[in-house]
Structure 1
Amino acid sequence: MTEKTRLITPRLPRGFEDRTPGEIAAVGAMIDKIKAVYERYGFDPVETPLFEYTETLGKFLPDTDRPNAGVFSLQDDDEQWMSLRYDLTAPLARYFAENFESLPKPYRSYRQGYVFRNEKPGPGRFRQFMQFDADTVGAGGPEADAEMCMMMADVMDALGLAGKYVVRVNNRKVLDGAMEAIGLADDPDRRLVVMRAIDKLDRLGPDGVKLLLGAGRKDESGDFTKGAGLDSKQAEFILGVLFSSVAAEENVNRIGGPEGAQPLRPNASFPINDYISKVGPAFPEGLGELSRMKSLFFAAGYNPDRIKIDPSVVRGLEYYTGPVFEIELTFKVQNEKGQDVVFGSVGGGGRYDGLVSRFRREPVPATGFSIGVSRLANALKLTGNLGATEPSGPVVVLVMDKDQTASYQAMVSELRNAGIRAEMFLGNTKNFGKQVAYADKRNSPIVVIEGSQERDSGILQIKDLIAGKQAASAISDNAEWKAARPGQFEIKREDLVSAVQKLLSEQ
């Protein structure tokens, strides 16, 4: 076979997925419910492009000649690097800074769209996926962060997940104080590795995280991930802060702020060592902010079964500077090994006071969160709350006589002008059965039939495919089915639109 005649194998790239009409409709219904909650809180929509200049996306990217680790990048015609956005937050920071003078402060917006990660794909892990974000830019203080957490809880309730989720809240300043104690205050690269290691706690467990805090970890495929290079005492201290019996949650519950903060007590697996005396001032400051948020949750009626303080939440991106939060679905599902596991996180976010300030000299506080749309849709499917079935197809006008296509097209136009979704069959018209099979495959509710006898008599045959399927299930004999013609009836030609409208309303 020559190169010219060689057929190309149709292949979907790894880490990407196609979406069917049913999936699109289901996600659309879910997004409408999320949008309604966002707008109830006073947020307005804004849209940013898929590409941004690479420098706009910031520190998430490695410093290389071709910044393609973690993102997809290319050079434009004037040799400037552009990258597909990896989230919706960095583009928002650019948009706000660029339109600073004309936007209200605080600026409350929501955004929906695809983001791209040039990472190793796996089960449930895609290189292209949809996010739905909400952010408040220009509001400092934990009150704005608390509102985000409450809105996340309300979104879950609106989607029918009440009692099946918890919003987990922590503060990066607590971990910042702990990392200062072990000497990482001025080592941003290793700090980021530490945070990303802790962010994998729900997936790898404490032993896996301890490996990533140390020299590194080899996964089941044999791939090795380099660790943060902490020694054993440093790693145990970080894990001790996370797992101590008097970590952030108990401190906040007991004392309501940093003034009476109790020292962390030892934990059997990860004891708090001498580093506790070296924690920086960010540590009690973070606890104080958590305390204020907790009082707001309590005042608004959000109990710990919906929103709770959890010291293991850190989030993986470097730009967070204060409170961080995640929505975790608490019901169990089976993983690819058949094991029962908690479904886990479907979204999260936090405060990022330094991101907009990359574009402007004055400090600009900001906070927000992002929902993973595809992952959340999968969760709703598992719980029976996805809320949309395969969308109904168009009414199909069958072509019984090829030389009468103008007449059939006139019927289609009448239906469309009445606001009814309709089409004329455009395939091979020689086989009546294949035309009906096509309508079935299109999930069509109705087909319209006009042969020469019907045309001469001024009538049409209307076939109710939904009723036909239901009736056919009770008929076992093919001849009996043909004789009964279930779901089929006769109308006058001039009654086409009204008859179809009536039948659709009944269906």
Structure 2
Amino acid sequence: MARDKKKKPQRPKALPPKGFRDYFGAEVAERSAMLSQISQVYHRYGFDALESSAVETVEALGSFLPDVERPNAGVFAWQDEDDAWMALRYDLTAPLARVYAQFRNDLPSPYRRYAMGPVWRNEKPGPGRFRQFYQCDADTVGAASVAADAEICSMLSDTLENVGIPRGDYIVRVNNRKVLNGVLESMGLSEEAGTDRDAVLRTIDKFDKVGENGVRELLTKGRLDTSGAYIDGVGLSADQAEPVIAFLTSKAADASGTLANLRNAVGGSKNGLDGINELETIGDLMASGGYGSDRVEIDPSVVRGLGYYTGPVYEAELTFEIFDDKGRKRQFGSVSGGGRYDDLVKRFTGQEVPATGVSIGVDRLLAALREKGRMGSVSKGPVVVTVMDRDRMGDYQEMVAELRNAGIRAEVYLGNPKNFGNQLKYADKRESPVAVIEGGDEKANGVVQIKDLALGARLSAEIETTEEWKAQPAQMEIKRGDLVAEVRKMIARAESAE
């Protein structure tokens, strides 16, 4: 009988899980640099950093999961030894509510915090949509005054300018959920109206996708979508739908005109008029701080998280044009949003605690900065000290230590030094600005060779010998004692030539 052949062990596929990706040096450096610039602004505004656990109990995440009927859907959840369900955090706001409720007797009130880090969502991935991504939040908990909302708007404006989005390329747009509630009340759709109110809210939430006519059709008889399928309407009459349309299209040439249009839209609703007065206060505070309508404006078309926010809502939109995948011009779009959510902490404490905050989409903002050409300077590689004699590694380590102590990013080549050309190819792949070369003759004469790789990058892959390398015009011989000063000059020349 033939022996059964042993099956070879199955090798795992070298792939990340679906919906996840890896981030390499330049991407990580760019994100770190941008987050540092954001945190500078947050810190300047008096916000404190908070780093909460990446894991929360499912109970703590509660209704802020994407599907409240299936409490573990939409998140990465598992049961602990004691059968308690835990999950990776879905956002940075629900953990803030838990932290504030837990430590409220020790924290200052209001509590101002910012947080930056990854969040995880167990949702279907798609192009540019991943299951792990970064968020960057700032929130004020315990302040009922709309001055807290106005401050978030001014901070968001300053943040965009600090990271490299110039004035004129963005706008922070502000609205108020209370105004919409007032419009619905004027239509006879109060909080108790149930399914009709919910259907209207879902339709309003589609305004940015289908526009004025699309919302009108969906509120009344229905419409054909782009795929040709017919979507049933809510069933309102044209007259009943008109207050919603008036609300969504009430933006005028200036803030006073917009507010007047909104007053007409809400009729006699006290809730709606309160929201309009809050918008007016925010506008006045913005003007007092020097934030004109070119930076922050009232815009009733901003509709965010209709079941989540309770007052002012805001959104930062980048207005410069880019080309989409089909070569068509379009505006870059939203990179940040937030608003007032006064019911969040109540789940833990039973008492309403006012709160307002904003979240920046880190990947979206990074993409915008790359589009504006603002991220290249953070991706430079290290100065590479080449190895001409492996028995003199101590000399090379001494040089690299001098460079590092002077604040210059540097490394010694640690691969096989036998083929000098490979060292240069390595430096080229690392996008190194400068290579340092010290052979036996240089050592004896107290000199080193330094090479500007920005000038010699195209030739580096073809050079095989030290003699060829020295022949390039971008290379110069300097005194050993001048290493730090001359390398610094060469890096500065390369940066100024970009």
Pick the aligned partner of 1:389 from 377, 396, 402. Answer: 377
CA contact (8 A) 1:326 1:349 kept: yes
| 1:103 maps to 2:107 | yes
CA contact (8 A) 1:44 1:110 kept: yes
**What residue is the counterpart of 1:322 in the other structure?**
311
Where does 1:139-178 land on structure 2 (aligned, <5 Å)? 139-158=143-162, 159-178=164-183
Q: CA RMSD in A?
A: 4.0
Q: Assess, with a 3 A threshold, how the Cα gap between structure 1 residues 248 and 198 changes in structure 2: closer, same or farther.
A: same
Pick the aligned partner of 1:299 from 288, 294, 299. Answer: 288
1:432 CA drift (Å): 1.0
Mapped partners of 1:48, 1:216: distance in 2 = 45
CA contact (8 A) 2:263 2:273 kept: no
Q: Assess, with a 3 A threshold, how the Cα gap between structure 1 residues 469 and 114 changes in structure 2: closer, same or farther.
A: same
1:438 CA drift (Å): 0.5
Q: Give, as a single letter, the amino acid of the residue that structure 2 aligns with 1:112.
A: M
Pick the aligned partner of 1:313 from 302, 316, 339. Answer: 302
**What residue is the counterpart of 1:272 in the other structure?**
none
**What residue is the counterpart of 1:485 in the other structure?**
472
Work out the percentage of aligned pairs sharing the same amino acid. 48
1:352 CA drift (Å): 0.6
Mapped partners of 2:204, 2:336: distance in 1 = 17
**Aligned length in residues:** 485
Pick the aligned partner of 2:419 from 414, 431, 435. Answer: 431
Q: Single out whichever of 439-448 and 104-113 deviates more from structure 2.
A: 439-448
Mapped partners of 1:14, 1:243: distance in 2 = 44
**What residue is the counterpart of 1:24 in the other structure?**
28
Query: Structure 2 length as normaliser, TM-score?
Result: 0.82
Q: Deviations over 1:332-378 (max 9, x none)?
A: 22222322222211101110111011111332111111111110121
**What residue is the counterpart of 1:202 in the other structure?**
208
Q: SS state of the match for residue 342, structure 2? A: coil
Mapped partners of 1:261, 1:488: distance in 2 = 69
1:206 CA drift (Å): 4.4
Q: Deviations over 1:270-307 (max 9, x none)?
A: xxxxxx88x85422322222222223233333333322
CA contact (8 A) 1:252 1:290 kept: no
Q: Single out whichever of 371-380 and 344-353 deviates more from structure 2.
A: 371-380
| 1:231 maps to 2:241 | no
Q: Assess, with a 3 A threshold, how the Cα gap between structure 1 residues 201 and 231 changes in structure 2: closer, same or farther.
A: closer
1:323 CA drift (Å): 0.8
1:242 CA drift (Å): 4.1
Q: Deviations over 1:166-196 (max 9, x none)?
A: 2111111222234454546237788667545
Q: Assess, with a 3 A threshold, how the Cα gap between structure 1 residues 33 and 445 changes in structure 2: closer, same or farther.
A: same
1:134 CA drift (Å): 1.4
Q: Deviations over 1:53-82 (max 9, x none)?
A: 12212312224456123x322222222222
| 1:363 maps to 2:364 | no
1:246 CA drift (Å): 7.2
Pick the aligned partner of 1:445 from 423, 433, 457. Answer: 433
| 1:379 maps to 2:384 | no
Q: SS state of the match for residue 335, structure 2? A: strand
**What residue is the counterpart of 1:263 in the other structure?**
264
Query: Structure 1 length as normaliser, TM-score?
Result: 0.81
Q: Assess, with a 3 A threshold, how the Cα gap between structure 1 residues 321 and 235 changes in structure 2: closer, same or farther.
A: farther
1:437 CA drift (Å): 0.7
1:209 CA drift (Å): 5.3
CA contact (8 A) 2:386 2:438 kept: yes
CA contact (8 A) 2:220 2:236 kept: no
Mapped partners of 2:199, 2:130: distance in 1 = 22
Q: Assess, with a 3 A threshold, how the Cα gap between structure 1 residues 296 and 24 changes in structure 2: closer, same or farther.
A: same
Q: Give, as a single letter, the amino acid of the residue that structure 1 aligns with 2:331.
A: V
Mapped partners of 1:501, 1:216: distance in 2 = 67
CA contact (8 A) 2:263 2:276 kept: no
Q: Which has the higher contact order (CA 8 A, sep 6+)?
A: 1
Q: SS state of the match for residue 145, structure 1? A: helix
CA contact (8 A) 1:195 1:314 kept: no
**What residue is the counterpart of 2:451 in the other structure?**
463
Mapped partners of 1:235, 1:377: distance in 2 = 43
Mapped partners of 2:51, 2:194: distance in 1 = 31
| 1:92 maps to 2:96 | yes
Q: SS state of the match for residue 374, structure 1? A: helix
Mapped partners of 1:246, 1:448: distance in 2 = 64
CA contact (8 A) 2:176 2:311 kept: yes
Q: Which structure 2 residue ranges, 5 or more long, are not aligned?
A: none
Q: SS state of the match for residue 333, structure 1? A: strand
Pick the aligned partner of 2:250 from 236, 239, 247. Answer: 247
| 1:335 maps to 2:324 | yes
Q: SS state of the match for residue 428, structure 1? A: coil
Where does 1:489-504 land on structure 2 (aligned, <5 Å)? 489-491=476-478, 500=487
CA contact (8 A) 2:336 2:359 kept: yes
Q: Deviations over 1:390-429 (max 9, x none)?
A: 5332332323334444554454445445554333322232
Q: Give, as a single letter, the amino acid of the residue that structure 1 aligns with 2:264.
A: P
Mapped partners of 1:68, 1:441: distance in 2 = 43
1:460 CA drift (Å): 4.0
Q: Give, as a single letter, the amino acid of the residue that structure 2 aligns with 1:139.
A: A
**What residue is the counterpart of 2:45 in the other structure?**
41
Q: Assess, with a 3 A threshold, how the Cα gap between structure 1 residues 239 and 314 changes in structure 2: closer, same or farther.
A: farther
Q: Which structure 1 residue ranges, 5 or more long, are not aligned?
A: 265-275
**What residue is the counterpart of 1:135 in the other structure?**
139
Q: Assess, with a 3 A threshold, how the Cα gap between structure 1 residues 244 and 196 changes in structure 2: closer, same or farther.
A: closer
Mapped partners of 2:80, 2:215: distance in 1 = 40
CA contact (8 A) 2:141 2:356 kept: yes
Q: Single out whichever of 244-253 and 455-464 deviates more from structure 2.
A: 244-253
Mapped partners of 2:242, 2:22: distance in 1 = 41
Pick the aligned partner of 2:336 from 336, 347, 351. Answer: 347
